[in-house]
């Protein structure tokens, strides 16, 4: 799929994204100094964010992935969340950081946060690159937010348009969402 200027408008440049990633990493490096951390990246959208954030982390960390049911082809959240791929380790006593690229209704993370909390970790915090805070339906404690964003459908840097365009280094919004 081509990124066509008639349909897409650049929203965040790769430089702005990188600045946010570095700020988040700096906060985490400070807050978790001397500790070991478990990063739980939410597939598929958080792959680019997780890879970039990890390269800026100086704190010792492991990485696990979880995949939850997504919007599929719809562009609005359906409400029900199921696990498609679970993490493969015991998280008891670990300091868990959930990595998400964007939070919309909050339903996905509410589900994952509660599930991880129930497994006896030392702590669980949420790190998101982008937050559509105005769209929140379900309360969730988000400690680390890269940027607040408007209620726009965004693509690039992990965010997909029907599974395409995740590779774009910059983030765009769709001018004509329908």
For the CB of residue 105, give the shortest distance to ligand IMP in the complex, in Å. Answer: 3
Q: Is 146 in the site for Mg ion (CB under 5 A)?
A: no
For the CB of residue 42, give the shortest distance to ligand IMP in the complex, in Å. Answer: 6
Which residue lies nearer to Mg ion by CB, 120 or 141?
A: 141
Q: Is 45 in the site for Mg ion (CB under 5 A)?
A: yes
Give yes or no: 104 in active site.
Answer: yes
24 binds, among ligand IMP, Mg ion, none (CB under 5 to 8 A by kind): none
Residue whose beta carbon is closest to Mg ion: 45
Q: How many residues bind Mg ion (CB under 5 A)?
A: 2
For the CB of residue 16, give the shortest distance to ligand IMP in the complex, in Å. Answer: 16
Catalytic choice (4, 18, 104, 150): 104
Q: Dump the DSSP string for the chain.
A: ----TTTEEEEE-HHHHHHHHHHHHHHHHHHTTTSEEEEEEEETTTHHHHHHHHHH--SEEEEEEEEE---TT-SS--S---EEE---S--TT-EEEEEEEEESSSHHHHHHHHHHHTT--SEEEEEEEEE-GGG--S-----EEEEE--S--EEBTTB-BTTB-TT-SSEEEESS--
Q: Classify residue 167 as exposed, middle or buried by CB count within 10 Å of its CB (0-12, 13-18, 19+).
A: exposed
For the CB of residue 90, give the shortest distance to ligand IMP in the complex, in Å. Answer: 25
Q: Which residues bind ligand IMP (CB under 6 A)?
A: 42, 45, 70-71, 77, 100, 102-108, 153-154, 159-160
Active site residues: 104
Residues contributing to the site for Mg ion (CB under 5 A): 42, 45
């Amino acid at each position: 799929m081509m990124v066509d200027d008639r349909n897409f408008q650049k929203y965040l440049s790769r430089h702005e994204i990188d600045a946010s990633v570095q700020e988040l990493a700096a906060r985490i490096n400070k807050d978790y100094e001397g500790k070991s951390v478990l990063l739980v990246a939410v597939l598929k959208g958080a792959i680019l964010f997780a890879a970039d954030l990890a390269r800026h982390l100086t704190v010792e960390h492991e990485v696990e992935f979880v995949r939850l049911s997504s919007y599929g082809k719809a562009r609005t959240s359906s409400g029900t969340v199921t696990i498609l791929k679970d993490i493969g380790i015991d998280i008891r006593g670990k300091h868990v950081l959930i990595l998400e690229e964007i939070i919309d209704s909050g339903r996905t993370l509410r589900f994952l946060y509660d599930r991880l909390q129930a497994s006896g970790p030392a702590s669980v915090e949420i790190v998101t690159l982008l937050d559509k805070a105005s769209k929140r339906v379900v309360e969730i404690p988000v400690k680390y937010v890269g940027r607040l964003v408007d209620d726009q459908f965004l693509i690039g840097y992990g965010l997909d348009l029907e599974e395409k365009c995740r590779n774009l280094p910059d983030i765009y919004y769709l001018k004509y969402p329908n």
